[in-house]
């Protein structure tokens, strides 16, 4: 089977290696679509602590079951499926407390290697986070199950109601996925970013206002009668944007810090605002099996996020897609084996 190996930053090699045989509870999936993401791009550009090098990479995918191991129930060869690349262990202290996204082992037992023509799914992922793909959902859209699950997890921590006011900071794929779900909840949403092409896509997805950062205060004042928004969701992972995020929340508002910064990054806030305006700062990491099931249901119900995929490349041209993303040319690319 053909698998892309990230040898070091800026160096990818397509290798022909033996296809694995699924063991007990395992499933071998023939990949029909894999998607690029910000984590892949960071790994390609400068390395990433969660992606060992040299090694296979890519983790957003969908496909067709080619072979099942002994003891697999509910799935058969030929089934069209969608999946995420991790699942909790079920036995650590965080799992026992119901905090499955914080499982002590979840990152150590994740599966990488979606930029390939096949991928082997271990038993714990098959059991918890593998689903039959509805025929109404394309393979490309189904491959967004993983990032959509992350977004569902974050939004589920917020009390979003009809009419809630929200600023989404960042119009990359994660920001746009937040927007799609927030509009489904009938929230009023301002999306802010510098990239006008991406802001145009946000407008197509239903944003109530799409503005560049220098016009954000004006847009917030207009939407909220100068009170400030109920929620701010930071989706850039840039320290300076983290720091600005509190500027747009009303008293008693909540700021969701979704975009991850590099290890060791420090930010500072005006303590007066945090204390006297009783602001809430929240992080959001990964997802639980319940979040994955909810994301799968949203796709089944027709959540239209296809505009987030800019185009496609064959597996041999993965590097071309990553170079384009590095130039902010496009949002996501589907890699088709």
Query: Which residue ranges form the domains of the chain, and what is each CATH number?
Result: 2-149+287-336 (3.90.180.10), 158-283 (3.40.50.720)
Q: List the structure tokens of 72.
A: 């697999």
**DSSP string covering 11-40:** EEEEEE-PPPPP-TT-EEEEEEEEE--HHH
Q: Is the peptide bond before 289 cis (omega within 30 degrees of 0)?
A: no
The CA distance from 187 to 163, in Å, is 5
**Residue 245: how many CB atoms within 10 A of its CB?**
23
The radius of gyration computed from the CA coordinates of the chain, to the nearest angstrom, equals 20
- What is the rounded CA–CA span in Å between residue 178 and residue 206? 12
Q: What percent of the chain has pLDDT over 90?
A: 98
Query: Is the pTM here over 0.85, yes or no?
Result: yes
What letter does residue 223 receive in the DSSP assignment? H
Length reported for the chain: 337
Average pLDDT for 37-65: 94
The predicted pLDDT at position 129 comes to 98
- The burial of 84, by beta-carbon neighbours within 10 Å (0-12 exposed, 13-18 middle, 19 or more buried), is given as buried
Residue 16 has pLDDT above 90, yes or no: yes
pLDDT for 29: 98
Tell me what pLDDT residue 324 has: 96
What confidence score (pLDDT) does residue 2 get? 96
| 173-184 and 196-204 helices, crossing angle to 10° | 20
Checking if the pLDDT of 55 tops 90, the result is: yes
Q: What is the pLDDT of residue 171?
A: 96
Mean pLDDT of 50-76: 95
The answer to whether residues 202 and 171 touch, using CB atoms and an 8 Å cutoff, is yes
Alpha-carbon gap, residue 278 to 256, rounded angstroms: 14
Lowest mean pLDDT across 46-50, 52-56, 142-146: 46-50
Give me the mean pLDDT over the 102-129 stretch: 97
What burial class does residue 163 get, using C-beta atoms within 10 Å of its C-beta: 0-12 exposed, 13-18 middle, 19+ buried?
exposed
Whole-number Å distance between alpha carbons of 307 and 309: 5
What is the 3-class SS of 161-180, one letter each residue? Answer: CCCCEEEEECCCHHHHHHHH
Query: Whole-angstrom Cα distance, residue 190 to residue 211?
Result: 7
Q: Using CA atoms, how far apart are residues 40 and 60, in angstroms rounded to an integer?
A: 10
48 has pLDDT over 90 = no
Please give the mean pLDDT across all residues of the chain.
96
- Confidence grade of residue 50 (pLDDT, cut at 50, 70, 90): confident
What's the pLDDT score for residue 251? 98
CA 17 to chain centre: 29
Coil/strand/helix, residue 51: strand
The answer to whether 229 and 190 have CB atoms below 8 angstroms apart is yes
DSSP H/E element including 7 = strand 2-8
Q: Residue 101's pLDDT is what?
A: 98
Can you tell me the distance from the alpha carbon of 308 to that of 147, in angstroms, rounded to the nearest whole number?
12
pLDDT at 313 over 90: yes
Report d(CA 280, CA 267) in Å as an integer.
15
**pLDDT per residue as tens digits for the range 210-226:** 999 999 999 999 999 99
* Span 284-309, pLDDT tens digits: 999 999 999 999 999 999 999 999 99
Task: In whole angstroms, give the CA distance from residue 94 to residue 11.
Answer: 37
pLDDT tens profile 169-196: 999 999 999 999 999 999 999 999 999 9
pLDDT-derived band at 49, boundaries 50, 70, 90: confident
């Amino acid at each position: 089977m053909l698998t892309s190996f990230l040898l070091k930053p800026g160096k990818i090699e397509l290798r022909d290696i033996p296809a694995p045989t699924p063991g007990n509870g395992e499933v071998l999936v023939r990949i029909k679509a894999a998607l690029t993401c910000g984590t892949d791009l960071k790994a390609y550009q400068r390395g990433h602590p969660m992606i060992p090098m040299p090694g296979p990479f890519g983790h957003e995918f969908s496909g067709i079951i080619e072979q099942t191991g002994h003891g697999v129930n509910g799935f058969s060869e030929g089934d069209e499926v969608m999946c995420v690349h991790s699942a909790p262990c079920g036995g650590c202290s965080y799992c026992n407390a119901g905090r499955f996204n914080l499982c002590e082992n979840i990152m150590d037992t994740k599966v990488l290697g979606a930029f390939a023509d096949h991928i082997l799914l271990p038993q714990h992922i098959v059991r918890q986070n593998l689903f039959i793909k509805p025929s109404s959902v394309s393979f490309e859209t189904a491959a967004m199950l993983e990032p959509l699950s992350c977004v569902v997890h974050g939004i589920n921590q917020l009390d979003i109601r009809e009419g809630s006011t929200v600023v989404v900071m960042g119009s990359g794929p994660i920001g746009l996925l937040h927007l799609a779900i927030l509009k489904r909840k009938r929230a009023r949403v301002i999306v802010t970013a510098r990239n006008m092409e991406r802001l145009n896509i946000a407008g197509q997805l239903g944003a109530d206002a799409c503005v560049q950062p220098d016009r954000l205060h004006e847009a917030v004042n207009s939407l909220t009668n100068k009170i400030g928004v109920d929620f701010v969701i930071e989706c850039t992972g840039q320290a300076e944007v983290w720091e600005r995020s509190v500027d747009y929340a009303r008293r008693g508002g909540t700021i969701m810090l979704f975009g991850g910064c590099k290890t060791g990054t420090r930010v500072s806030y005006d303590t007066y605002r945090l204390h006297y305006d009783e602001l809430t700062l929240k992080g959001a990491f990964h997802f639980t099996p319940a979040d994955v099931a909810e994301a799968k249901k949203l796709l089944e119900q027709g959540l239209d996020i296809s505009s987030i995929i800019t185009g496609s490349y064959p597996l041999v041209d993965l590097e071309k897609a990553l170079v384009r993303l590095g130039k902010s040319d496009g949002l996501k690319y589907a890699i088709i084996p």
